[in-house]
Amino acid sequence: MTSHSWRSFALAALLLTAAFLTAPAARAAADAETPKTPAGRVFAAWLAAFNSGDAAQFRAFDAAYPREGAPPVEDRLRFREMTGGFTVIRIEKSDPLSLVVLLQEKGSDTMVRLEMNISADEPPKVLKSTLEAIPRPPDLAIARLKEADALAALTARAGELAKKDEFSGVVLVARKGKVLLQKAWGLANREAGTPVTLDTRFRLGSMNKMFTAVATLQLVEAGKLALDDPIGKYLPDYPNKDVASKVTVRHLLTHTGGTGDIFGPDFEKNRLTLREHGDYLKLYGARGLTHEPGAEHRYSNYGFVLLGALIEKVSGMSYYDYVRSRIFQPAGMSSTASLAETDAVPNRSIGYMKDNGKWVPNTDTLPWRGTAAGGGYSTAGDLLRFAQALESGKLISKASLAAATTPYKEQYGYGFGIREEGSLRSYGHSGGAPGMNGELRIVPRLGYVVISLSNLDPPAATRLVDFFALRMPAS
């Protein structure tokens, strides 16, 4: 798997983790009947090809029903691996040339809505085909459990997935400062036979963005940054003047700046020479905007790299020194950092990604080291300490935390994703790339902190956090 796959893999993971993902509950005994319309026939062919997990069937479908801009077969196969395929739950809308279908992952309770439009040609072309993860509809809701029963169900589910070699990692659940569950499964290093323990350090992917957001807000509170200042005020030599003059600190924190991604051919070519935040700015700094700042939410890893550069500029410290001294040390996070992959880090796990149906090390896909956008490592215990320090006001003020965890666009605040569900309202962040997946979710009103970390492909860890989130008590 080449390093550019980080981006497509993360996007597929994001699709699945946009709603609460859970493990199997009662489901329909058989697929709902597909309409015998032109759109229904194309959908049935797509579903058969997708569920087969066979590249030849994907290609045959593409040849029979062309679609402009269809994702590469490799990416679709990887997505099929993540989902296990789909079962049709019900047809929500049916016209001769269009279809809206509610699907459910095989092997989990994840609900996805597919919308497909086709042309009137013979054979038809696929004009539109979108998948969107959605919360379970009320009529398909899963009953909530008492706390002890929810914890027991989570433990059993993690054990079941580990036995099937679909989970390797740690799960931790705490409430109001008391740890209710912390348990490890699987191997941290398959070649050496090293088991995962509670001290195993897992790569975090985009979970680093929470640290970057907190660091930025600390500097806002100190008067060294202002949310609505353009980045050019602090980076006067930034190459692209449009970006420098229009994109604000707030835009970067909320993924609304139009600053684009870092993954792709340029990253693949320069993966091991991109060692500092300044290296990313040299490579991507001349690039223009993808959209007018503030107009829309488009997840931007480069935007958080820019925040790292701003932190370094106004603090006079490297990003790594800043987060260590102002976040990790005050929170008591002694096992969290972003040392280079070439450094020997005790207890750091090896990540394993699926390649031709087998788990193989992800070593050749990794960046030189983690950045302000993601890629550091931590333990479940350290992430609990981070959550507790954040909630207590030790890292930023309660007012700043409230602003950071208020949705700005697309249920995203300042470096935190937010889920609005009454007393179950939560915030946190996930991280995912080949061979790594993590999730931290904080439920302030109920006092829960739920964490899972894994050294396998997404959504190995996120599924377990979502499993508990769907079954945990609502009061």
Do 164 and 119 lie in one domain? The reply is no
- CA 185 from centroid of its chain's CA atoms: 21
Catalytic residue among 206, 300, 378, 426: 206
The SS3 call for residue 48 is helix
Do 151 and 130 lie in one domain? The reply is no
C-alpha span between 438 and 466 (Å, rounded): 12
C-alpha span between 403 and 396 (Å, rounded): 11
User: Which among 400, 394, 383, 455 has a CA at the least distance from the CA of 172?
Assistant: 383
Per this entry, what is the length of the chain? 475
C-alpha span between 70 and 130 (Å, rounded): 11
Question: Does residue 89 fall inside a structural domain?
Answer: yes
Q: Tell me the pTM.
A: 0.88
Question: Does residue 254 fall inside a structural domain?
Answer: no
Question: Does residue 408 fall inside a structural domain?
Answer: yes
DSSP 454-468: ESBSTTHHHHHHHHH
The SS3 call for residue 126 is strand
Non-local (6+) Cβ contacts of 371 within 8 A are: 208, 277, 280, 304, 305, 308, 319, 338
Question: Does residue 5 fall inside a structural domain?
Answer: no
Q: Which two tokens stand for residue 301?
A: 């890893």
Asked whether the bond before 459 is cis by omega within 30 degrees of 0, the reply is: yes
C-alpha span between 2 and 205 (Å, rounded): 17
Confirm whether 206 is a catalytic residue: yes
Domain tally for the chain? Answer: 2
The SS3 call for residue 88 is strand
Do 133 and 165 lie in one domain? The reply is no
C-alpha span between 80 and 15 (Å, rounded): 13
Do 74 and 121 lie in one domain? The reply is yes
Question: Does residue 261 fall inside a structural domain?
Answer: no
Q: What is the CATH number of the domain that holds 93?
A: 3.10.450
Do 160 and 135 lie in one domain? The reply is no
Q: What is the CATH number of the domain that holds 428?
A: 3.40.710.10
The per-residue pLDDT for 31 is 62
Contact 469, 450 (CB under 8 A): yes
* Of the residues 104, 123, 140, the one at which a domain ends: 140
Do 88 and 151 lie in one domain? The reply is no
Buried b (16+ CB within 10 A) or exposed e, 408-445: beeebbbbbbbbeeeebebbbbbbbbbbbbbbbbbbbe
Helices (H) and strands (E) in the chain, counts: 16, 16
* Of the residues 88, 107, 140, the one at which a domain ends: 140
Do 71 and 188 lie in one domain? The reply is no
User: Which among 449, 42, 371 has a CA at the least distance from the CA of 203?
Assistant: 371
> 84: how many CB neighbours lie within 10 A of its CB?
15
Question: Does residue 135 fall inside a structural domain?
Answer: yes
Do 430 and 452 lie in one domain? The reply is yes
- CA 455 from centroid of its chain's CA atoms: 14
Do 133 and 151 lie in one domain? The reply is no
Q: Tens-of-pLDDT digits for all 475 residues of the chain? A: 333 333 334 434 434 333 333 333 333 334 678 999 999 999 999 999 999 999 999 999 999 999 998 899 988 988 898 888 999 999 999 999 999 999 999 878 789 999 999 999 999 999 999 999 898 898 998 999 999 999 999 999 999 999 999 999 999 999 999 999 999 999 999 999 999 999 999 999 999 999 999 999 999 999 999 999 999 999 999 999 999 999 999 999 999 999 999 998 999 999 999 999 999 999 999 999 999 999 999 999 999 999 999 999 999 999 999 999 999 999 999 999 999 999 999 999 999 999 888 999 999 999 999 999 999 999 999 999 999 999 999 999 999 999 999 999 989 999 999 998 888 999 999 999 999 999 999 999 999 999 999 999 999 999 999 999 999 999 9
Question: Does residue 247 fall inside a structural domain?
Answer: no
Asked whether the bond before 123 is cis by omega within 30 degrees of 0, the reply is: yes
Contact 294, 249 (CB under 8 A): no
Question: Does residue 295 fall inside a structural domain?
Answer: no
Which residues partner with 129 through β-bridges? 116
What range does the domain containing 157 cover? 147-209+344-471
Do 70 and 118 lie in one domain? The reply is yes
* Of the residues 122, 140, 158, the one at which a domain ends: 140
Q: Which two tokens stand for residue 284?
A: 């991507």
The per-residue pLDDT for 26 is 35
Do 135 and 153 lie in one domain? The reply is no
The per-residue pLDDT for 7 is 39
The per-residue pLDDT for 215 is 98
Contact 259, 300 (CB under 8 A): yes
- CA 99 from centroid of its chain's CA atoms: 28
Do 88 and 199 lie in one domain? The reply is no
